[in-house]
Chain A
Amino acid sequence: MESLTNRKKVVSDKPMTLWEKAYLPAIISGMMTTMRHMFRKRKTIKYPEETREFAPVYRGQHVLKRDEQGRENCTACGLCAVACPAEAITMTSAERERGQEQLYREEKYAATYEINMLRCIFCGLCEEACPKEAIFLTDRLVPTFFERDNFIYGKDKLVETLDERIDITTRQHTGKRSQI
C-alpha cells in the first residue's frame, strides 16, 4: 500500500557496521545536537514577571455583564445552571421592586448567583445557553486559595463593577466562530 505521508521509516535490526560499533561518530553527532540546543531560544516563560499570551477564545473566570446603562443583564432564568455539565452554578431569583429599574434590566433578577470554581470545567456552555448575554468567560485566571469556601464566587466577585467594565467583545460571536 502506498503510504500517505513521507514520514514512514523502515527499521531493521541488522548487525552494526564497524563505523557504528565504534560509538564515537554517534557520540560526536549527539554532542553536536546538544551544542546546537545550547544556542537556541529558551522556551521558558519566567512566570511571575511574564505571563503566557492567551488565545482570543481562552475561557477563564466568568463575568456577569451589565448593559450600557449599568443594569445587570441576568434575569435568573436558570438556563446556564441547566446547561452546566459540572453543576457548578446555583442561583436564587427575586422580583424587581419599584425604584430598582436602574439596577436590573428585566423585572426578574438574580438575588444570589454562585459559581463553584472548583466544580467549573470552564467549558463555556453557560455562555452559550444565556439568552440575555449576561454571562461570559474572560481571559482572567481564577487564583488559588487555601480554603474551599473561597472558591465559591458570589455576585460580589462575578458582576462587573460600573467603573471597571470588562471587555468581552472577542467572545460575542456565539455560533459564528469564523469571525474570531
Chain B
Amino acid sequence: MDTALLIEKSILVLLLFLVSLGAAAYMTYFERKLAAWIQDRVGPDRAGPFGILQPIADGVKMFLKEDFIPAKADKWLFIIGPGIAMFTALITSAVVPWGPKLHLFGRDIALQVADINIGILYVFGVLSVGVYGIMIGGWASNNKYSLYGAIRASSQMISYELAMGVSAITIVLLSGSLSLNDIVTQQSGVWNVFYQPVAFFIFFVCALAELNRAPFDLPECESELVGGYHTEYSSMKLGLYLFAEYTSMFVSSAIMAILFFGGYNFPGMSHFSGNTLAIIGIAAFAIKIFIFIFVIMWIRWTIPRFRFDQLMHLGWKTLLPLSLINLLITGLVIAFKNGWF
C-alpha cells in the first residue's frame, strides 16, 4: 500500500465521518421541522435564521447536562452500550460507494472506503451487531423499562432481519455479486426496483423495523416504556443513542438507494464523463438518500405505532412468506432465462 493511497483513504474516512455526523445532526432539525409542518406548526425557528443552528444548540445542551449513572447499573456496560450503537452505525458507511471515480492529482480516487467483495454480508453483519448497543445499554441500566425496550429491540431485529435478508438475496440473484460496487454498476441501465418492487417494499418495511422507527418504534415507545432502552441515559450518552439512530437511518437510506435505486446512477448518465459525472453522481445519490429520509420521517409522523403482537404477525406471517415466494419466483425466472429447464 503506497502512501498516497493511505492519505486518500484517510481523507475519505474523515470526510465520511464528518458527513455522517453532520447529516445526522441536521436530520434531527429536519425531523422537527417536518413534524411541525405536518401538524400545521412552524417548528424550531429561534436559533439562527429558520432555526438552522438548532442542532448545534441541542448538541451543546446535551454536553452540558449532568452525566448520570444509576447506582445499581453495570457501570462499564452502561458506558459501552451507546458506544457500540454509535460505532456500528458509523462503520456501515465504509462499504457504501458514494459516487463514480473522481480524477484528482493524476489519480483515480474511488469514493468508497473499502470495496470488499462481500459488501452486503458486511452491512447485514454490522447491522446485526448494532442490536448489541441497545441490548447491552438496556440490560446494564438495571431498569425494567430499559430491559423491556432492549428485549423488544432484539426480538424485533431478529424477526425482521430474516425477511430483509431474503429480499436482499433476490438482488444478489439478479446481480450475481455480493459487492455493493458491482450491484451499483449493474444498475446503470434499469434500476433494480423495476425488477423487484416487492423485494424493495419488504426491504423498506424491514429497514423501518431495524431502525426502530415508527410505526415499529416499540423499543423506545414512550407511552408504555418511559424511554425504552435509554430510560436511564442522560447527557451525551443519550445523545449518542439518538445520534446513532439518525446515523443508521442515513446509512440505511444509502443502502436502499444502492440496492434498489441504482446508487449514484441517474438517467442520462452517458452524456457526462470524468469529474462532472462523479459530482453529478454524488448529487444524485444524495438526492435519493434525502428522499428516503423524507419518506421515513413522513411515515413516522403519519402512522401510529403497531402493537407488539401485530409487529410479530407482520414480520413472520406476512413479510417472511412474501419474501420467500418472491425469492422463489425470481429464482425460477432466472433459471428459465438461463435455459436450465
Q: Is the CB of A37 within 8 A of B40?
A: yes
CB distance from A42 to the nearest CB of B (A): 5
Q: Is the CB of A34 within 8 A of B40?
A: no
Q: Is the CB of A46 within 8 A of B42?
A: yes
Which chain B residues (131-181) contact chain A, with CB distance < 8 Å?
none
List, in ascending order, chain A residues with CB within 8 A of B303's CB: 27, 30-31
Taking the complex as formed, is B302 at the interface, i.e. its CB lies under 8 A from any CB of chain A?
Answer: yes
In the complex, which residue of chain A has the Cβ closest to the Cβ of B304? A30
CB distance from B313 to the nearest CB of A (A): 11
In the complex, which residue of chain B has the Cβ closest to the Cβ of A37? B38
List, in ascending order, chain A residues with CB within 8 A of B45's CB: 46
Q: Is the CB of A34 within 8 A of B42?
A: no
Which chain B residues (266-316) contact chain A, with CB distance < 8 Å?
298-299, 301-303
Taking the complex as formed, is A38 at the interface, i.e. its CB lies under 8 A from any CB of chain B?
Answer: yes
CB distance from A21 to the nearest CB of B (A): 10
List, in ascending order, chain A residues with CB within 8 A of B299's CB: 27, 31
Q: Is the CB of B302 within 8 A of A31?
A: yes
CB distance from A32 to the nearest CB of B (A): 9
Most buried by A among B37, B41, B45, B299: B37
List, in ascending order, chain A residues with CB within 8 A of B302's CB: 27, 30-31, 33-34
In the complex, which residue of chain B has the Cβ closest to the Cβ of A30? B302
Which of A30, A43, A46 is in CB contact (< 8 Å) with B40?
A: A43
Taking the complex as formed, is A141 at the interface, i.e. its CB lies under 8 A from any CB of chain B?
Answer: no
Given the known interface contacts A30-B303, A31-B298, the answer about A37 and B39 at a Cβ–Cβ threshold of 8 Å is: yes
Which chain A residues (46-78) contact chain B, with CB distance < 8 Å?
46
List, in ascending order, chain B residues with CB within 8 A of A43's CB: 40-41
Taking the complex as formed, is A9 at the interface, i.e. its CB lies under 8 A from any CB of chain B?
Answer: no
List, in ascending order, chain B residues with CB within 8 A of A44's CB: 40-42
Most buried by B among A33, A34, A43: A34
In this complex, the interface size class of chain A, counting residues with CB under 8 Å from chain B, is: 10 to 19
Taken together as a complex, chains A and B put the C-alpha atoms of A157 and B53 apart, in Å, by 42
Q: Mark A10-49, 1 if CB is under 8 A from B, else 0.
A: 0000000000000000010011011101101111101000
CB distance from A23 to the nearest CB of B (A): 9
CB distance from A140 to the nearest CB of B (A): 26
CB distance from B244 to the nearest CB of A (A): 26
List, in ascending order, chain B residues with CB within 8 A of A41's CB: 40
List, in ascending order, chain A residues with CB within 8 A of B37's CB: 37-38
Taken together as a complex, chains A and B put the C-alpha atoms of A41 and B299 apart, in Å, by 21
List, in ascending order, chain B residues with CB within 8 A of A33's CB: 302
Given the known interface contacts A27-B303, A30-B303, the answer about A35 and B41 at a Cβ–Cβ threshold of 8 Å is: no
List, in ascending order, chain A residues with CB within 8 A of B301's CB: 34
CB distance from B82 to the nearest CB of A (A): 31
CB distance from B136 to the nearest CB of A (A): 34
List, in ascending order, chain B residues with CB within 8 A of A31's CB: 298-299, 302-303
Taken together as a complex, chains A and B put the C-alpha atoms of A46 and B44 apart, in Å, by 11
In the complex, which residue of chain B has the Cβ closest to the Cβ of A41? B40
List, in ascending order, chain B residues with CB within 8 A of A46's CB: 42, 45
List, in ascending order, chain A residues with CB within 8 A of B298's CB: 31, 34-35
In the complex, which residue of chain B has the Cβ closest to the Cβ of A45? B42
Taken together as a complex, chains A and B put the C-alpha atoms of A45 and B45 apart, in Å, by 12
Q: Is the CB of B38 within 8 A of A38?
A: yes
With A27-B299, A34-B38, A42-B40 known, 9 other A-B pairs at CB within 8 A are A27-B303, A31-B303, A33-B302, A35-B298, A37-B38, A38-B34, A42-B41, A43-B41, A44-B40
Q: Which residues of B contact A (CB under 8 A)?
A: 34, 37-42, 45, 298-299, 301-303
22 contacts between A and B (CB under 8 A): A27-B302, A30-B302, A31-B298, A31-B303, A33-B302, A34-B38, A34-B301, A35-B298, A37-B37, A37-B38, A37-B39, A38-B34, A38-B37, A40-B40, A41-B40, A42-B41, A42-B42, A43-B40, A43-B41, A44-B40, A44-B42, A46-B45
> When A and B form their complex, which 5 residue pairs have the shortest distance between CB atoms, in order from nearest?
A44-B42, A38-B37, A34-B302, A34-B38, A43-B40
Q: Which residues of A contact B (CB under 8 A)?
A: 27, 30-31, 33-35, 37-38, 40-44, 46
